[in-house]
Amino acid sequence: DLHSFPTRRSSDLSLMDDDKSRVYFSEAWANFMEDYHKRNGNNEQSYQLAKIGSIFLVPALGGIRCGKITIEQMQGVINNAKPKKRKGNLSRKYLSNIKGCLVQFCRWATPRGYFKSDLASQLYVPKHGEPAHKTILQLDEIEKVFRNPTGLS
């Protein structure tokens, strides 16, 4: 029978189209970046947002609908972020930058209906981030340099 399948009212269809919580994170991120570029142009901040988004956020959350993303998944992006070209952990500063991108995205997305509640306020930078390492030459190492300036022993 042609009319035995369930139908939706046209008013239901318009509600479904407006439900941004059903949009995948990757699409919402693209909308955020487009809006950011319109408001701020191409600057260092937009470059950083795009870089962190493409390396960490979209690969981790891109296939999840915004309304289904949990605080644990967002925090997991920060906690599990690893450098792409070396071993070890990212610095606390870089983890803080990832958190900043997530917070900025959430503050943009929540009032637009992508998220039902503010997830950004619960994010934190874990303590396992490495501080920036600076090697300071010791006195005996400085003496070696001056004794043999070419470095060839």
What pLDDT, in 10s, does the model give residues 57-90?
Answer: 999 999 999 999 999 999 999 999 998 888 888 8
The one-character DSSP state at 80 is T
Cα–Cα distance measured from residue 108 to residue 100, given in angstroms and rounded to the nearest whole number: 12
Q: CA-to-CA distance for 123 and 106, rounded, in angstroms?
A: 11
For the segment 29-45, the average pLDDT, to the nearest whole number, is 94
Q: Which of the listed ranges 13-22, 41-50, 127-136 does the model predict with the highest average pLDDT?
A: 41-50
Specify whether the backbone of 130 is left (phi greater than 0), alpha (psi in -120 to 50) or beta: beta
Q: What is the pLDDT of residue 85?
A: 82
Task: Please report, rounded to a whole number, the percentage of residues in the chain having pLDDT higher than 90.
Answer: 56
- Residue 133 CA to residue 100 CA, distance in Å, equals 22
> What is the mean predicted confidence (pLDDT) over 35-50?
93
| Element counts in the chain: helices (H) and strands (E) | 7, 0
24 backbone dihedrals φ, ψ, rounded to 5°: -70, 150
In DSSP notation, 46-83 reads: HHHHHHHIIIIIHHHHTTSBGGG--HHHHHHHHHT---
Is 91 within 8 Å of 132 (Cβ atoms)?
yes
Predicted confidence band of residue 128 (pLDDT cuts 50, 70, 90): low
pLDDT digits over 86-117, tens only? 888 889 999 999 999 999 999 999 999 999 88
User: Is residue 7 pLDDT above 80, yes or no?
Assistant: no
Least confident residue range of 40-44, 67-71, 128-132: 128-132
Backbone angles phi, psi at 12, to 5 degrees: -65, -40
Task: Look at residue 1 in the predicted model and tell me its pLDDT.
Answer: 46
What is the per-residue pLDDT for 153?
Answer: 56
Q: How many CB atoms lie within 10 A of CB 89?
A: 14
Q: How far is the first Cα of the chain from the last one, in angstroms, to the nearest whole number?
A: 91
